[in-house]
Structures are given as structure tokens and as C-alpha cells.
Chains A and B, each alone.
Chain A
Amino acid sequence: MRDLAVRLAALDADAGAALRVIAYFDSLTETRAGLQAIVRGAAVLAGCPARLDDHARRVHVRVDASGAAAPLSSSGDPGWMCLAVVPDGSALLALERAGEPGPVEAMILERAAGAARAVLDRTRGRAPAADPALVELVVDASAPSDVRDQAVHQLNLAVPGVRAVALPGGPALLPPGVVPSFARAGIGPAIDLPASYAAARVALRFAADGTPEDPGPTVVRYDDLGALALLADLPADADVPDLHRLEHATTAAPWALATLHAYADAASLRAAATALRLHHSTLQDRIAQAAHLLGWSITTPAGRLRLQVALTLRRLRRHPR
């Protein structure tokens, strides 16, 4: 029966394609297949060359659509469909095809990146350690620019549109087109990398832990902060009476922080009630009570802004420079 003209490439656009992609990469992971097999799977299933670039470990695998290992053609193209394999973006899986990934392509990227991550995690001990020194050099404003340029080339990231990322543990880089998948991060603008990193560190202070004690967005882009970024300049010891009131309210009522945050963040009272899984009349009662504890009305636009600023300042205090 060797002659059945069955091709994996026949996976196109068929309703079961996504499920087959999942099964394919799950099987590779179960049987502990290597990076070549994973990248080849992505290339053959997508019908275009695929590559894995792990800048930190200097692992570069490229496979063409027929499944043959192929030489690296270039350092990459920002327009390609790609996904970060590890949270700091130092390892990328890309399909060498421009445009927005369709559903099957997105599934291939997600599953292949997951399978590759499992291999990298498993082999981490044997792989050369990630080179944080190189990334730190790239974002260091005091380093000579030619030294920084050289480091960017060594990282294989000499493409326009790279952003610096501030993580609690230090800097990382986000190549263009990559969907960030960080636990807690500030993301800088796509500018000169030291300046981008300075902005990313500011953005990181606006990023919450995402815990009940620190609710809020865990990944913040500096570009989205606008004038709010100015709040970061407030001296750490500046006395802000609204913070005392917020502290008082959240100590007095255990539900207050979550309620105030949801209310400040939501588009409407009803949306806040949904987010908190409360009946909206219950929420209304709680808001009235919280406003009483705070000492200012939070249902007027100005009062709501005052609440948003207070909550933001609270987060900045929790995440000092």
C-alpha cells in the first residue's frame, strides 16, 4: 500500500486541519522528537519554509517546504508569521510567509512553538546558557553604539521594529510581529533600544502582578500610557492623601480593591458586574459603600478619574524604581 498518494500537505483548509495539527505536534512531543522534526513539521504542514532561531543558544534550524534542511537565507523578515518560543523572545519560530496567519497557520505556530519549547526546556542543561550580557549590552545607553550594533547582529536581531522589554529580572528583546507572552512586563517603543528600554522600565512599573493584592494589566506598553507615564515621575516619598484613603477603604472592606479596580477598569457598571460575577444591584451597593469609605464620589467622570489615578499610584508604589 505504499503507493497511496497521501500527503501531509493535503491538510489545507479542511475542517479537521486544526485538530490534525494539534495531534501531529502532540505526538512529536510525546515521542520526544527533536527540533529538526518539529520545524520540519511546521514547514511541511504550512507548505513554506519554517525556521527556529534561538538567539540565546545559537540554535538555528531552517527547513524548506519539502522537508529538507535548508541553509539560513537571511536573518529574518519582520513581515513573517512568527511566534516567541520562550517568554523573553530570544527564541522565535517563524513561517517564511508574509501576512497575518490564518487559523491553520496560527495553530501550526502555536503547537510547533510549544513542542520546541518542551525540547528547549528538556535540553536546557546541555544548551549554552542564554547570554543575558548581550541583551544588556544592547539596551545599555552607556555602551558605544558600534558595540551595541555588533551585539544586535550577534543576536540575529538586526531588523527594524525591535522593542526592548523590561522584565522583573532584567531586559529582553521583542522582535517585530511577535506576540509577547510574558508573565509581567513593560514593553518599550520601537525606537533606539537603550531609549526603548528606559521607557519599558517605566511601563513595567505600571504592570500589575495580576494577583488579588495587585490587580490590573500584567503587560503594559509604554506607547499606550500616554501622559499617564508622567505619574511615574512622582517622588516615591510624596504624600498623596488619596492613597491613604484607598488604603483605608481596602482594609475596611476585603472586597473593596477588586470592586474598585473592576469598576475603574470596566466600560460600564454592567461590564464590571459581569467581570466580578456579581448582580449589578449588588455591585451598585458596594460602589456606594466604597465611595463612602474613600470619601469621594466615584460615579462622576471626575471622581472615576481620581479613582483611576489613585489605583495607578498604588501600583507604582508597589513597584518602585
Chain B
Amino acid sequence: MTTTLPPPFDPELAAALGVIQEMLPPFTLDSLAEARGGGAVAGPTDVQLRRDGAFTVAERVVPGLGGDPDITLLICTPTAAAGTLGCIYHTHGGGMVLGDRRIGVEALLPWAEQFGLVIVSVEYRLAPETPHPGPIDDCWAGLLWTAAHADELGFDPDRLIVAGGSAGGGLAAALALRARDEGGPALLGQMLMCPMLDDRNDTPSAVQMDGLGVWDRQANLMGWSALLGDRRGGPEVSPYAAPARADDLSGLPPAFIDVGSAETFRDEDVAYATRIWQAGGRAELHVWPGGFHGFDMMAPAAALSRDAQDARVRWLNRLFNG
């Protein structure tokens, strides 16, 4: 395709982006150690997660899949919640190469309080040290353990959802596919926030936003190559690595998908929602005009960010209270 002008960033987000880009680590394989060590990718502490006693925070070490190493689950339980709890099983973001189980959990705390949800966030092994299927297998093993221990964790297994942003959104989508294929655990929903779904990295939005915004085509190429090596973009990529590769998107739990119009993932995320509908499924899609990747997390006060956050809460409300 011919290169076209990219959609403009939202004015407020454009102003924030100038500041954010200064703080972001470089996303290349060579500087991965620096990006992993940088303060920009620091997750919340236990004290921050406890929110003055609103949550108890615990960690469990549970078996990996088959002969894989044990994995750690971070578990935050609301202390004041009344009635039956649900559970949000969280896969963190970080392009498959960055982050840990704490990243992104703070954003889930208000939902957990409002809707009475136990948060379980999984520590999966990262690429390139652990290529596919290591990361998704860790996430899967954690989900199996979580669903099997619903009583112990204090939630109703019929109120279990998967959620994640960016690479974590891709992993959550893969968990929903795998749960469908393997006949459980039953999932009430899947929240895919600007998910990373397609290793081919060649959609018009990927091309259009090359060199722009956050997590551009080059960074995305790095992330997918770390996970898949030479298999990236080839004919033999598993849908559990790149959910966009799934031939069949029927029989999935209701999906919430959001994405910015000015980011690499726009077209693959819109296509994923479209294909769910075409397969007779349920999906809610929000494309936020002028949003860059992760805008709502990095510039949370902007008008568009607040609207994006509100839309998720409204979906959760319909899902859990509807």
C-alpha cells in the first residue's frame, strides 16, 4: 500500500507525548537490559497495592505447565467487598520482553473494589530468554491453578475474566482461545486493552505509524521477533502466540477491545473485533481518536483517557451486574 498521512494525535495527548517520549526507554533488543532496569517500568509496591487496607496482598508459587518451572501469582483481595466475589486474571504488558506481575495492577484496583473482584496477576517468563510457547504456557498454568482454587481464593468460578493490556491483551486473548479449545476454564469475559495480536506487523496502521507515537512498527518487530524468532510472520505461527492467526473466532467469551486510532495496533484490533462479530460472537470495540499506544495509562488525566477508562468500567458493570 502507499504510505498515507497518519491520523493526528489528540491535542492533549500530543502535548503529553512530548514529555512521555523523553521518559520512555528505547525499545530495541540491544537496550533491553536498560529498558528492564529503568524506573519507567516500575510496578507498585505492596503498600501501594494495599490502598490503606482496602486490599490484602499475597503471593503464591504454583506449578508451571508440564515440567516448566514454578510460577508466581500476585493476589490482591478486596477486604470490604460484600457478596460473591469475581476474579480478574491479569496478564501484564511489556511487548513480551518487559515488565512483571505488578505492572498494570494499580489500574485494576478500582474495578476490584467496585465490582468485588480478586485480582490474580501472573509472572510469566519473558522473551527472548523464553520464546513461545513459554510465556503463554506460564499464563495458562496460572489460569488453570486459579480456576481450580476459586474456593480457596474466595471467588465464584462463574465470575472469572481475563484481562490485559498491550502484550498482556494478546496473552489474555490467547487464554480465551485456549480455554475454548481445551473446554475450560469457563470465562465470563475477556478485556483486551490495546492488545498486541498480530505478529505479521504489516497492517496499514503499523505502516502508517512507523516511527511515531509509542511502540511503533520497529518496536513491535523487536517484540515479536523476540517471542517467535525466525517463525515471526511465517506460515506456522500458533494462535496462542498471535491470536490474530486464529482461523476460528467463534465460541469465545464476550470481548472488550479498545485501541487508539493513532497506534500500530489499530487495524489488527479492529479486525479482531470484526472477526468475532462475523463469527457470531460478542465484542465491544472502542477506537479512541488520536490515541497513541497506552495513552490512558501514560496520560491518565487527559479527557480522552478518562473517557477510555470510563468505557471499561461501564462494560465491566454490564458484565458483572447486568
Does B40 lie within 8 Å of A3, measured CB to CB? no
Contact among A2, A3, A32, A44 with B301 in the assembled complex (CB-CB below 8 Å): A44
B183 in the interface (beta carbon within 8 A): no
Does B23 lie within 8 Å of A6, measured CB to CB? yes
Does B11 lie within 8 Å of A2, measured CB to CB? no
Distance of A66 Cα from B305 Cα, bound (Å): 11
Question: CB-CB < 8 A to B44: which residues of A?
Answer: 5
A33 in the interface (beta carbon within 8 A): yes
Does B19 lie within 8 Å of A3, measured CB to CB? no
Does B298 lie within 8 Å of A2, measured CB to CB? yes
Closest to A2 in B: B294
Distance of A8 Cα from B193 Cα, bound (Å): 21
Distance of A23 Cα from B15 Cα, bound (Å): 7
B41 in the interface (beta carbon within 8 A): yes
Q: How large is the interface on A (under 10, 10 to 19, 20 to 34, 35 or more residues)?
A: 20 to 34
B77 in the interface (beta carbon within 8 A): no
8 Å CB interface, B286-322 against A: 293-294, 296-303, 305-306
Distance of A37 Cα from B290 Cα, bound (Å): 15
Does A5 lie within 8 Å of B11, measured CB to CB? no
B14 in the interface (beta carbon within 8 A): yes
Does A25 lie within 8 Å of B294, measured CB to CB? no
Does A6 lie within 8 Å of B301, measured CB to CB? no
Does A3 lie within 8 Å of B22, measured CB to CB? no
Question: CB-CB < 8 A to A89: which residues of B?
Answer: none
A188 in the interface (beta carbon within 8 A): no
Closest to B16 in A: A8
Does A3 lie within 8 Å of B94, measured CB to CB? yes
Closest to B9 in A: A31
B43 in the interface (beta carbon within 8 A): yes
A66 to chain B minimum Cβ distance, whole angstroms, is 6
8 Å CB interface, A1-16 against B: 1-8, 10-11, 16
B104 in the interface (beta carbon within 8 A): yes
Does B14 lie within 8 Å of A31, measured CB to CB? yes
Distance of A53 Cα from B168 Cα, bound (Å): 44
B124 in the interface (beta carbon within 8 A): no
Closest to A25 in B: B15
Chain B count of residues within 8 A CB distance of the other chain: 48
B8 to chain A minimum Cβ distance, whole angstroms, is 8
A24 in the interface (beta carbon within 8 A): yes
Distance of A36 Cα from B10 Cα, bound (Å): 14
A33-B12, A41-B12 given; A2·B293 CB < 8 A: yes
Does A40 lie within 8 Å of B165, measured CB to CB? no
A24-B18, A33-B11, A40-B303 given; A2·B296 CB < 8 A: yes
Question: CB-CB < 8 A to A5: which residues of B?
Answer: 40-44, 103, 106
A1-B214, A6-B20 given; A24·B15 CB < 8 A: yes
A251 in the interface (beta carbon within 8 A): no
Distance of A33 Cα from B10 Cα, bound (Å): 9
B95 in the interface (beta carbon within 8 A): yes
Question: CB-CB < 8 A to B214: which residues of A?
Answer: 1
Contact among B8, B18, B42, B95 with A1 in the assembled complex (CB-CB below 8 Å): B95
Does A4 lie within 8 Å of B301, measured CB to CB? no
Contact among B15, B98, B165, B305 with A31 in the assembled complex (CB-CB below 8 Å): B15
B171 to chain A minimum Cβ distance, whole angstroms, is 12
8 Å CB interface, A33-62 against B: 33-34, 36-37, 40-41, 43-44
Question: CB-CB < 8 A to A11: which residues of B?
Answer: 19
Does B14 lie within 8 Å of A1, measured CB to CB? no
Distance of A104 Cα from B13 Cα, bound (Å): 21
Does A8 lie within 8 Å of B11, measured CB to CB? no
B197 in the interface (beta carbon within 8 A): no
Question: CB-CB < 8 A to B142: which residues of A?
Answer: none
- Can you show 14 pairs from A to B with CB atoms below 8 A apart? A1-B24, A2-B293, A2-B296, A3-B93, A4-B40, A4-B298, A6-B297, A8-B299, A24-B15, A25-B15, A27-B14, A27-B18, A40-B303, A67-B301
Q: Interface on A for B, CB 8 Å cutoff?
A: 1-8, 10-11, 16, 20, 23-25, 27-28, 31-34, 36-37, 40-41, 43-44, 66-68
List 7 A-B pairs, minimum CB-CB distance, nearest first: A67-B301, A2-B294, A31-B11, A33-B11, A27-B15, A3-B104, A2-B165
